[in-house]
């Protein structure tokens, strides 16, 4: 506005304007929006903030007919209260945009690649994988909602020692079934889980002419089959959680296609790779450390603690080497921003992998890593520890059977991913106010129930003659809350913090429930009149609320039932 020469303002703008915000202020200020502009501009103008605020207030008032009152306060805030015409225009806008309301149409559209889950294909997913899975999924929904292009990817670590141990475990289970040989439980490298038995059975049934006399002879074929089986399980788990990836990228394929060699060559050309030695790790446990000359990536150039190994002694690639190749592959596919969702235990890996992306792209592209913290499971008020020992770890399937997809998603998302999350099985199952999911769903259900009672559908398009309503302060309070929705989406997208959505939806629901109960004492606050009709004013108001709840819940991929 200040750039507009017609205003003929005497206020000087600094070279860079940063930090000027327009926000909905805390309730007690009794106004609709507020800006800190005067305080930011104070220095460049060498005037006290309040003086600038007053000048600005004059300018704004002159140029906007929808402002009722404009006041300046203490340090230099400018507070604005709108006329009803503003709110009518606002609500008309929501009704016409429907679920598209809140999308930031001005922001440039970006091509994102979001890698998440990427759990080892050695068995079904367990609860520990859930949080990151849901986080990545909702982040993808959020960014696509905002009009960005998003590819959801799963990196399949089907190469290396773990996979050999896994397929060997399947091999022994097959021998157990076919030849009645006992499974070698003493071998700690093997996977003891019962699901391996099912995988073994499936492989036997589908490959009648395969011989299982010697592991080395079937190893290659068996590994492929075993990985395929566990991927089938994983994909089913994900689907039941409401998650479908766009692409699964196989580590083995990358190695086979020489992508690792190509990538290392590229890095070598820029002097990021060399033959050298690294010092022993600082941990006390590692007493059998052997110093060795090996192929290293210069991650210390980017601030990492030490350079990182690319090749093992037997000349096969390290996990890191093929992961660098995967990220090179991502960059080749021309994504603007790469996002990885990692578990807390992999946080130490971030520095080296972001370093590799910087090295490959010449600092042109960025990899953003988002860490999802641990989920502390609580059952009957007591912490529940999972261990790899058979029988006492909870799978995604257990979780879904017990609490369901919607409650799992909503609760896992309701906290910042930076913070450990208490997941109380007993509480999440409860269908009560203890459970924020039902609180928000109940809000939508109540609105649907009003529509039903006046023989309409909540999904119907609303048509009214005109938007000339007189909303009361209690209604404007909710409209103000709705006006914060676009900002909520913007911040959640920019900071990759989807937990802001459930938090927002809870707050909006709370204000709605509060308004609803006012109808007990005050008939004018009821949606349905005594003659079983609803006014245009009220139906438009309800529709606006339902639009925001619905689109929020769709981003979370959580159901909004019309009856509960």
Closest CA to 396 of 412, 419, 418, 382: 412
Among the residue ranges 52-60, 161-169, 222-230, 459-467, the one whose residues contact RNA (CB under 7 A)? 161-169
Q: What residues between 312 and 351 interact with RNA by CB under 7 A?
A: 312-314, 318-320, 344-351
CA 351 – CA 499 distance, rounded (Å):
25
Among the residue ranges 196-204, 238-246, 500-508, 550-558, the one whose residues contact RNA (CB under 7 A)? 500-508
520 interacts with RNA by CB under 7 A: yes
Residue 405 CA from chain centroid, whole number = 16
514 interacts with RNA by CB under 7 A: yes
Q: Please, what is the minimum distance in Å from the beta carbon of residue 309 to RNA?
A: 3
Closest CA to 370 of 140, 560, 195, 149: 140
Q: What residues between 109 and 128 interact with RNA by CB under 7 A?
A: 120
45 CB-near residues (< 8 Å, 6+ apart): 11, 12, 52
- Count the site residues for RNA by CB under 7 A: 106
Q: Work out whether the CA dihedral 398, 400, 402, 408 comes out positive or negative.
A: positive
Based on CB atoms, which residue is closest to RNA, 390 or 495?
A: 495
Q: What residues between 367 and 386 interact with RNA by CB under 7 A?
A: 371, 373-374, 376
Taking CB under 7 A as the criterion, the residue among 65, 213, 282, 380 binding RNA is 282
Q: Please, what is the minimum distance in Å from the beta carbon of residue 187 to RNA?
A: 15
How would DSSP label each residue in 286-352?
--S-----EEEE-GGGGT-SS-EE-B-TTSPBPHHHHHHHHHHHHHHTT-SEEEEEEEGGGGGGHHH
Q: Please, what is the minimum distance in Å from the beta carbon of residue 179 to RNA?
A: 29
CA 112 – CA 473 distance, rounded (Å):
42
Taking CB under 7 A as the criterion, the residue among 151, 471, 510, 536 binding RNA is 510
Residue 470 CA from chain centroid, whole number = 39
Q: What residues between 48 and 107 interact with RNA by CB under 7 A?
A: 49, 73-77, 79
Q: Work out whether the CA dihedral 337, 342, 344, 348 comes out positive or negative.
A: negative
564 interacts with RNA by CB under 7 A: yes
Buried b (16+ CB within 10 A) or exposed e, 413-442: bbbebeeebebbbebbeeeeeebbbbbbbb
Taking CB under 7 A as the criterion, the residue among 32, 42, 394, 540 binding RNA is 42
Beta bridge partners of 115: 153, 340
180 interacts with RNA by CB under 7 A: no
Based on CB atoms, which residue is closest to RNA, 35 or 175?
A: 35
Taking CB under 7 A as the criterion, the residue among 449, 471, 550, 554 binding RNA is 449
Q: Please, what is the minimum distance in Å from the beta carbon of residue 446 to RNA?
A: 6
Based on CB atoms, which residue is closest to RNA, 211 or 520?
A: 520
Based on CB atoms, which residue is closest to RNA, 28 or 209?
A: 28
Taking CB under 7 A as the criterion, the residue among 270, 453, 459, 524 binding RNA is 453
3-state secondary structure 11-75: CCCCCCCCCCCEECCCHHHCCCEEECHHHHHHHHHCCCHHHHHHHHHHHHHHHCCCEEEEEEECC
Beta bridge partners of 296: 274, 309
442 interacts with RNA by CB under 7 A: yes
309 interacts with RNA by CB under 7 A: yes
Based on CB atoms, which residue is closest to RNA, 168 or 499?
A: 499
494 interacts with RNA by CB under 7 A: yes
Residue that has been written with the tokens 């299982």 in this structure: 212
Based on CB atoms, which residue is closest to RNA, 95 or 508?
A: 508
Q: Please, what is the minimum distance in Å from the beta carbon of residue 144 to RNA?
A: 19
167 interacts with RNA by CB under 7 A: no
**Sheet strands (E) in 358-435:** 366-372, 375-379, 382-383, 421-424
């Amino acid at each position: 506005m200040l750039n507009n020469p017609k205003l003929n303002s005497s206020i000087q703008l600094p070279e860079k304007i940063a930090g000027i915000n327009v926000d909905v202020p805390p309730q007690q200020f009794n106004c609709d929006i507020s800006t800190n502009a005067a305080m930011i501009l104070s220095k460049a103008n060498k005037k006290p903030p309040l003086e600038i605020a007053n000048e600005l207030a004059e300018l704004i008032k002159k140029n906007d007919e929808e402002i009722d009152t404009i006041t300046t306060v203490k340090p230099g805030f400018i507070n604005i209260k709108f006329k009803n015409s503003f709110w009518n225009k606002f609500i008309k806008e929501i009704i016409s945009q429907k679920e598209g309301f809140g999308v930031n149409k001005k922001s440039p559209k970006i091509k994102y690649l979001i890698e998440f889950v990427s759990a080892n294909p050695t068995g079904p997913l367990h609860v520990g994988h859930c949080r990151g899975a849901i986080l990545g999924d909702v982040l993808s929904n959020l960014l696509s909602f905002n009009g960005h292009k998003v590819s959801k990817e799963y990196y399949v670590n089907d190469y290396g020692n773990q996979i050999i141990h896994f397929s060997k475990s399947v091999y022994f289970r097959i021998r157990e079934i076919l030849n009645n040989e006992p499974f070698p439980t003493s071998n700690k490298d093997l996977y003891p889980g019962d699901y391996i038995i099912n995988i073994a059975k499936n492989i036997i049934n589908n490959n009648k002419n395969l011989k299982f006399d010697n592991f080395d002879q079937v190893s290659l074929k068996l590994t492929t089959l075993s990985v395929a089986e566990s991927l089938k399980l994983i994909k089913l788990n994900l689907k039941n959680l409401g998650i479908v990836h766009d692409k699964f990228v196989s580590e083995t394929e990358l190695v086979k296609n020489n992508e690792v060699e190509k990538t290392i060559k590229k890095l070598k050309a820029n002097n990021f790779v060399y033959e050298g030695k690294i010092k022993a790790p600082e941990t006390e446990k590692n007493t059998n450390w052997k110093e060795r000359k090996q192929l290293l990536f210069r991650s210390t150039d980017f601030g990492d603690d030490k350079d990182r190994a690319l090749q093992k002694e037997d000349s096969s690639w390290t996990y890191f080497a093929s992961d660098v190749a995967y990220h090179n592959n991502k960059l080749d596919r021309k994504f603007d921003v790469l996002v990885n969702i990692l578990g807390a235990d992999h946080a130490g890996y971030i520095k080296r992998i972001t370093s590799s992306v910087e090295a490959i792209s010449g600092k042109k592209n960025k990899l953003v890593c988002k860490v999802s913290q641990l989920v502390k499971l609580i059952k009957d008020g007591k912490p529940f520890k999972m261990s790899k020992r058979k029988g006492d770890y909870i799978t995604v399937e257990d979780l879904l059977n017990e609490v369901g997809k919607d409650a799992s998603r909503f609760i896992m998302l309701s906290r910042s991913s930076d913070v450990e999350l208490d997941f109380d099985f007993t509480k999440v199952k409860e269908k009560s106010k203890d459970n924020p999911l039902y609180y928000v769903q109940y809000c939508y259900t109540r609105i649907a129930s009003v529509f039903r009672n006046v023989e309409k559908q909540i999904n119907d398009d609303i048509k009214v003659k005109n938007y000339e309503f007189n909303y009361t302060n209690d209604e404007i309070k909710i409209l103000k809350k709705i006006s914060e929705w676009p900002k909520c989406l913007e911040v959640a997208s920019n900071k990759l913090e989807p937990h802001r959505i459930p938090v927002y939806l809870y707050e909006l629901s709370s204000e709605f429930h509060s308004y609803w109960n006012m109808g007990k004492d005050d008939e004018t606050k009821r949606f349905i009149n005594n003659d079983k009709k609803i006014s245009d004013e009220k139906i438009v108001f309800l529709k606006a609320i339902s639009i925001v709840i619905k689109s929020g819940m769709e981003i979370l991929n959580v159901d909004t039932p019309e009856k509960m």
